[in-house]
Amino acid sequence: MKPVSSKSSADLRRTLLNASLDLIATEGLESFSMREVARRAGVSHQAPYHHFQDREAILAELVAEGFTRLRDDMADALRRSDDASARLTAIGKAYVGFALDHPAHFKLMFRSELVRAERHDEAHACAQAAFEVLVSVVEGLPAGKRRAGGASSLVLTAWSFAHGLSTLLLEGKFDRHCGKTKRARVAAANEVLKTFEDLVRRA
């Protein structure tokens, strides 16, 4: 079977990644399969294995791309605010916004049974780079000095908060309180983010 698209064969790798992204975005993370990806790329079910060692390897590449994009989104958001507490809310909005815009991609980035990030250098590095954006913001806070041994406790607190908010929204756990539409979810997220900002500002 010939590739249905007329791309040069060296592009197959990229084509497979795009097909994967498209597949999880439209059909959901759980219906990702190597065979479906191959089908969408117009190649045999084994062709992807010439470009990726296994299922986890292709997913790891998506994870790396996801963290890069998340980092860019957060960095962009920071360019538009300078008050220290407001900056915290700004990256929070970017974080939650990413999760709501790309739910499957976001879940993939945080499911260690799908991708063990520590075994994939690129994914690991991209995740770390995104984390550093948060660190820089918290360090700008009065209470956010870095501890001797690593990230300050406030960094982990803020991350936990933003991550939990994203996860619960994505899994529909706030539906009772805010409804199911994306618009309503964004509004609820903004209110909760503001509540957290107020806690930090007053402390």
Partner DNA sequence: GGCTCACATTGACAGTGTCAAGTGCTCGGT
Partner DNA sequence: ACCGAGCACTTGACACTGTCAATGTGAGCC
Query: Which residues contact a copy of itself (rule: CB under 8 A)?
Result: 28-30, 110-113, 117-118, 150-151, 153-154, 156-157, 159-168, 170-177, 188, 191-192, 194-196, 198-200, 202-203
Rule CB under 7 A: say whether 44 interacts with DNA.
Answer: yes
Q: Under the criterion CB under 7 A, does residue 111 sit at the interface with DNA? A: no
Q: CA quadruple 134, 140, 143, 144: dihedral positive or negative?
A: positive
The least distance separating DNA from the CB of residue 117, rounded to whole angstroms, comes to 17
Residues in binding contact with DNA, number by CB under 7 A: 22
* Shortest distance, position 78 Cβ to a copy of itself, whole Å: 21
For DNA, give the closer residue by CB, 45 or 146: 45
Instruction: Give 147's strand partners.
Output: 150
Question: Does 194 help bind DNA (rule: CB under 7 A)?
Answer: no
Nearest to 120 by CA among 31, 54, 181, 74: 54
Q: Does 36 bind DNA (CB under 7 A)?
A: yes
In whole angstroms, give the CA distance from residue 82 to residue 44. Answer: 52
Q: Determine contact, residues 108/178, Cβ cutoff 8 Å.
A: no
C-alpha–C-alpha distance, residues 176 and 131, integer Å: 31
- Nearest approach, Cβ of residue 203 and DNA (Å): 47
5 near DNA (CB under 7 A): no
Total count of residues recorded for the chain: 203
